A and B are shown apart, each in its own frame.
Chain A
Amino acid sequence: MAKVIYGGQSYECGEHSVLDCLTAQGVAVPSSCRSGICQTCLMRAVTGEIPKRAQEGLKPTLAAQNYFMACSCFPQSDIEVVLPEAGLNRLAARVASVEYLNVDILGIRLDPSKPLEYKAGQFINLFKDKATARCYSLASLPALDEPLFLNVRKVPGGLVSNWLFENLKAGDEVEISEATGDCFYVPGNADQNILLIATGTGLAPLYGIVRDALMNGHKGKLSLYHGSYDTSGFYLVDELKELERLHDNFSYVPCVSEGAAPKGYVRGMVLDAALNDHPDLSGWRVFLCGNPNMVNAAKKQTFFAGASMRDIFADPF
């Protein structure tokens, strides 16, 4: 008989769903349709095998992280599960290097003390002390075996970013969390066109995602738009131009929203520029990262332009 393991307790599941098994034991799992559709009862498997049916209809990024719907999960063997908001484990990491990517953005490379499982575009927490942490997206690629690569913007009055700008140096040891987040590239559908829009350090996850897609042999267009107030806000420009030179299907468009736009830059809001070039997004995959106002507006506008809700991945921060 399959058991469901939750919160250190083990429960006989019998013929029941994980949802029914846990709620019968008094575990509060939110639910609504109880038909495997509305995704209210989303949980994540830590160990064990998830029956296929329990992931039907989920976004591929959620399925790849072992999320499933508890109402339609009838386990055939023991399965250990957690609620989505369950805490992430922490681990130590050593600072490999620190450099200025531009006047406001620090590039930090970290070697974790043990192998970290992650996808480019997910984020980790970086701890200043036991109780103070901020999320930073991963611009590195596990497959290239680089150290973890974070882009940190100096936030006025920001506890963690100011501490990093003032103190961090190569050789330091810091505490980080495991990676999480569902804004990343899932291989497959290699001919699908992909639109990527970032403001500020929203570029970090997209820099990882673009290279992940290219490394996986993605054939469809990869159109990256990066927005900033003025030209001083851009970074990784040489790296992106080099990628553009190496890959015909990749394009990089830096957009300046205020002030003059020199040759090679587009003048205007990044979302407007992207939609102007790509008014019909039917069948496209879309990644949106950075300023929450831009990301939320872009979610709606790219959906209206024809992208399916299932194909829109966003990370506002």
Chain B
Amino acid sequence: MSLYTDIGGEPAVNAAVDIFYRKVLKDDRINRFFSNVDMEKQAAKQKAFLTMAFGGPHNYTGEDMRRGHAHLVAQGLNDTHFDAVMEHIGATLTELKVPANLIAQAAAIAESTRKDVLGK
């Protein structure tokens, strides 16, 4: 859990969720995958995802990731969209002045979900 502690734990995730979610909603490449859902529920899910990427507590399995995104894959979710999300995670952490080596670790965790998220 040291990455999670180093990044700043729950307060850091709380700060990151708003910034990250604003970027996602403003990004015309991907915001269609995030529209038509309750914004608050969506923000809570983003928080769970970022907590995982930051090395924090979670119980998501690869299977959960597949099931949770299958309907989006059916709508055309692909690598370019995943890349866009990765970009926003990096930019969010940079904005929060997280050191580059920690950003790289968080990015690696997020990246490790790519196959499951995209149903490959």
Which A residues lie at the B interface, using CB under 8 A? 32-40, 56-57, 59, 299-300, 303-304, 308-310, 312
Q: Is the interface of A mostly helix, strand, loop or mixed?
A: loop
Which of A38, A299, A300, A304 touches B44 (beta carbons < 8 Å)? A38
* Residue on B nearest A311 in the bound complex, by CB: B18
Residues of A close to B64: CB separation below 8 A: 32
- Flag if B40 contacts A309 (CB, 8 Å): yes
How many inter-chain contacts with C-beta < 8 Å in the A-B complex?
55
Residues of A close to B21: CB separation below 8 A: 303, 309
For residue B48, CB closer than 8 A to chain A, the reply is yes
For residue B57, CB closer than 8 A to chain A, the reply is yes
- Flag if A37 contacts B18 (CB, 8 Å): no
Residues of A close to B29: CB separation below 8 A: none
Which B residues lie at the A interface, using CB under 8 A? 10, 14, 17-18, 21-22, 25-26, 39-41, 43-45, 47-48, 51, 56-60, 64, 68
- Flag if B58 contacts A33 (CB, 8 Å): yes
* Residue on A nearest B35 in the bound complex, by CB: A300
Residues of B close to A35: CB separation below 8 A: 48, 51, 56-59
- Flag if B39 contacts A39 (CB, 8 Å): no
**Given the contacts A32-B68, A300-B39, A38 and B45 also touching, CB distance less than 8 Å:** yes
Distance A300 CA – B25 CA, assembled complex (angstroms):
9
Q: How far is the CB of A41 from chain B (nearest CB, A)?
A: 11
Distance A304 CA – B18 CA, assembled complex (angstroms):
9
- Flag if B68 contacts A37 (CB, 8 Å): no
Distance A303 CA – B25 CA, assembled complex (angstroms):
10
Q: How far is the CB of B36 from chain A (nearest CB, A)?
A: 11
- Flag if A32 contacts B40 (CB, 8 Å): no
- Flag if B41 contacts A303 (CB, 8 Å): no
Which of B22, B47, B59, B60 touches A303 (beta carbons < 8 Å)? B22
Distance A56 CA – B39 CA, assembled complex (angstroms):
20
Which of B17, B48, B51, B58 touches A309 (beta carbons < 8 Å)? B17
Q: Can you add 11 more A-B contacts, CB < 8 Å, to A33-B48, A35-B56, A299-B39?
A: A32-B45, A32-B64, A33-B58, A33-B59, A33-B60, A37-B51, A39-B41, A57-B14, A304-B25, A309-B17, A309-B39
Q: How far is the CB of A209 from chain B (nearest CB, A)?
A: 18
- Flag if B39 contacts A37 (CB, 8 Å): no
Which of B22, B25, B40, B47 touches A37 (beta carbons < 8 Å)? B47
Residues of A close to B51: CB separation below 8 A: 33, 35, 37
Which of B14, B44, B59, B68 touches A39 (beta carbons < 8 Å)? B44
Which of B10, B26, B47 touches A38 (beta carbons < 8 Å)? B47
